[in-house]
Amino acid sequence: MKPAEAQKRIAELREEVARHQRLYDRSRPEIADFEFDRLKRRLADLEREFPQFITDESPTQSIGDERAEGFARVKHRMAMMTLDNTYDEAELRDFHARLAKALETEDLAYTVEPKIDGVAVSLTYEQGRLTRAVTRGDGEEGDDVTANVRTIRGLPHELKGRLPPDVVEIRGEVFLTEEEFRRINQQQEEAGEEPYANPRNLAAGTLKQLDARLVAGRRLEIVLYGLGHCEPEVVDSQTGLQAQLQAWGLPVVEKFWAVRGIDAVWAAIRELDGLRRGFAYGTDGAVVKLDSFGQQRHKKIGFRGADASGQAEAARKLSPRWACAYKFAPDRAETRVRDIAIQVGRTGVLTPVAELAPVFLAGTTVKRATLHNADEIARKDVRVGDAVLIEKAGEIIPAVVAVLTDKRPADSRAYAFPKKCPVCHTAAVRAEGEVAWRCPNPDCPEKVRRRIAYFASKGCLDIDGLGEEIVDLLLKQGLIRTIPDLFRLKLEDLLPLKKSGEVWAGNLIAAIAARRNAELWRVINGLGLPQVGAAAAKELARTFRSLEALLVAGEDELIRVEGFGEKTAAAVHAWLSDESNRRLVRELIAAGLEPAAPAATGSVFAGKVFVLTGTLPMLSREQATAMIEAAGGKASGSVSRKTSYVLAGEEAGSKLDKARELGVPVIDEAEFRRMLGA
């Protein structure tokens, strides 16, 4: 390639890589991580071949910027770097050869760890106590997410053992387990919403929530493996750090290899590849590090810096030369697109789904894969009949990652995204700045079906026995058309629907009747107000105390609700002002729905904040929380000086220690019940 051609191609690649880096930093990637890494590698290779075109502005000379609005910025005591990637055994051996040459020995000790597909964070412990949690950000400074990280169960807020360092930064990854990811996506599907793409994006989005109560409801987890600033120093190797992290009582990686020589490194990586799908977290590679901190600091090794002249000492450190990430190729399979279908969500979002020729991938047979939206179909040029590559994003959700255009059949046809809702045929609309097309018809049968199922679901009214299958049956028989119709059902309406249906019909009528006085927050959550989940619904219930009061709430009143900002207040006010929504609420009231208001100010736990820890003898965590809230109190995820009581059961953890340290009263279940008068 001639220099002029290289300069042009470098400019094109820089623009493309920078765009995908911005999308990744916002947790909205358009391409798989593996493809992004390859794209960045092509740019780096060209810049090495033509170093005269390297500039500090190139995306190869930065680590991205994951900082978000609404969070305080905190400077890391020691920069948080990224790792250079390797993709095959030859590159891994080249990495070893460079270190062996610099250190003048082939006999090098390494550690091999799983590369966790999560969100990098740095925890600061001062005098053994957790004082701050910060995201990687731009490497030099990140977002203060301490309140959110404190909600993570299993993360001690105080280090075990005697004489911890005065100050220590401990690095790790926040993640969601596959089980938790599936649970949240099941709720999304029940709500008629598009499922989240992968656990990493959802974990990143959750960690950047401004409401710590929402974060607590999503069960983030953390694993720790790295060291930043430490004063005084307490370990001199990575293996020593692993032992120290465990001694401090911190969660660490499930499997850890300490080996000598590159052959043993390669064997460990192959062993990890066979084990990683059984881990609680997603892994996309292996991290290889020189074990000795002294060797890591050797003057001939050091760091790759952002200074184009190569003077790393004068520039921001980007990546250590003593470590690398070996990236596993994602599990992929080739199949063919038989058709493209449109799903209509509860809010009217039209989501395209590829109907595939069945193919076995990562342990399951895949028949469908999400295409996300119209722009995604156009960008990838996905056509009916195309041969495509699919992979499980985060090894969970099937997604189309590439079209094999060289195998495109002559009779393939471009997909025209529908201009109308495929169910009710109302013209679809797309709001300015949004990628989603929506059906605006409030009476669209599919929207109605999903709204009713969502209203009855566990996170809302929790009507026993009223799942999607029964909702479909009632709709098909014409017994219901709207949510209020549920409360108008009679026993005689249901008897003909099933053989020996008397017991079933009686149970369902009783279950619906039992929820006429459900908690107000459950009803508000079931209405599906925009940007309102369970935590926000509880705040609305506490503030307005009835559906009638909520219906006439002004935007100025809504913005004063705890946790609400201008955008949320405006969106909720717009929903409440819509006549079809107002009619729905009025019909619910007329149908006999009388939701229970939160406990009044004079209630036994009014103004009290509880923190639950350990396993209670008789009550689940959810039951105890419901009892606290019914009595006017609040349940919090972390202990502070504002905590009124810690309700502790068996195997209570660091929260119990924190309560004793702060002098917060600790009660057991028996005392809790006595206080309630139960």
The tokens of 525 are what?
A: 């959550």
pLDDT digits (tens, 9 = 90+) for 635-675: 877 788 888 999 998 877 778 888 888 889 999 998 998 88
Q: Which band of pLDDT confidence, cut at 50, 70 and 90, is reported for residue 455? A: very high
Q: Which band of pLDDT confidence, cut at 50, 70 and 90, is reported for residue 600? A: low
Q: Of 251, 115, 226, 250, whose CA–CA distance to 171 is shortest?
A: 226
What CATH architecture does domain 3-61 belong to? Orthogonal Bundle (1.10)
pLDDT for res 599: 65
pLDDT for res 396: 61
pLDDT digits (tens, 9 = 90+) for 619-631: 877 778 878 877 8
pLDDT digits (tens, 9 = 90+) for 5-29: 888 888 888 888 877 777 665 556 6
Question: Any idea which residue has 């929506």 for tokens?
Answer: 438
> Phi first, then psi: what are they for 319, rounded to 5°?
-150, 145
- Reduce the DSSP state of residue 20 to 3 states and report it: helix
pLDDT for res 399: 83
Active site residue 420: no
**Domain range 335-414, its CATH number among 2.30.33.40, 3.40.50.2300, 2.40.50.140, 1.10.260.40:** 2.40.50.140
pLDDT for res 310: 39
pLDDT of 505 higher than 50? yes
pLDDT for res 338: 94
**Domain range 81-327, its CATH number among 3.40.640.10, 3.40.50.2300, 3.30.470.30, 3.40.630.30:** 3.30.470.30
Please check whether residue 205 is in contact with residue 24, taking contact to mean a CB–CB distance below 8 angstroms.
Answer: no
pLDDT for res 444: 93
In CATH, what number does 609-676 get? Answer: 3.40.50.10190
pLDDT for res 257: 97
What CATH architecture does domain 445-514 belong to? Orthogonal Bundle (1.10)
Which segment, 7-16, 51-60, 511-520, is predicted with the most confidence on average? 511-520
Q: Of 302, 305, 306, 309, whose CA–CA distance to 58 is shortest?
A: 306
pTM of the model: 0.56
What is the mean predicted confidence (pLDDT) over 390-417? 84
Which segment, 37-41, 273-277, 555-559, is predicted with the most confidence on average? 555-559
pLDDT for res 308: 38
* Selected catalytic residue, list 40, 115, 208, 392: 115
Q: Of 600, 626, 592, 613, whose CA–CA distance to 458 is shortest?
A: 626
Q: Which band of pLDDT confidence, cut at 50, 70 and 90, is reported for residue 157? A: very high
The tokens of 295 are what?
A: 């060797």
Domain ranges of the chain: 3-61, 81-327, 335-414, 445-514, 520-590, 609-676
- Check for a shared fold between 445-514 and 520-590: yes
Choice between 216 and 464, residue whose per-residue pLDDT is larger: 464
Cα Rg of the chain (Å, integer): 28
pLDDT digits (tens, 9 = 90+) for 337-362: 999 999 998 888 999 999 999 988 87
Q: Of 514, 669, 655, whose CA–CA distance to 151 is shortest?
A: 655
pLDDT for res 311: 40
pLDDT of 95 higher than 90? yes
520-590 classified as CATH 1.10.3720.10 = no
Q: CB atoms < 10 A from the CB of 117, how many?
A: 20
pLDDT for res 585: 94
Q: Of 87, 247, 251, whose CA–CA distance to 177 is shortest?
A: 251
Q: Which band of pLDDT confidence, cut at 50, 70 and 90, is reported for residue 307? A: very low
pLDDT for res 102: 94
Dist. CA 46–CA 55, nearest whole Å: 13
Q: Across 291-349, where does the E strand assignment appear?
A: 303-305, 317-320, 323-327, 332-344
* Average model confidence (pLDDT) across the chain: 86
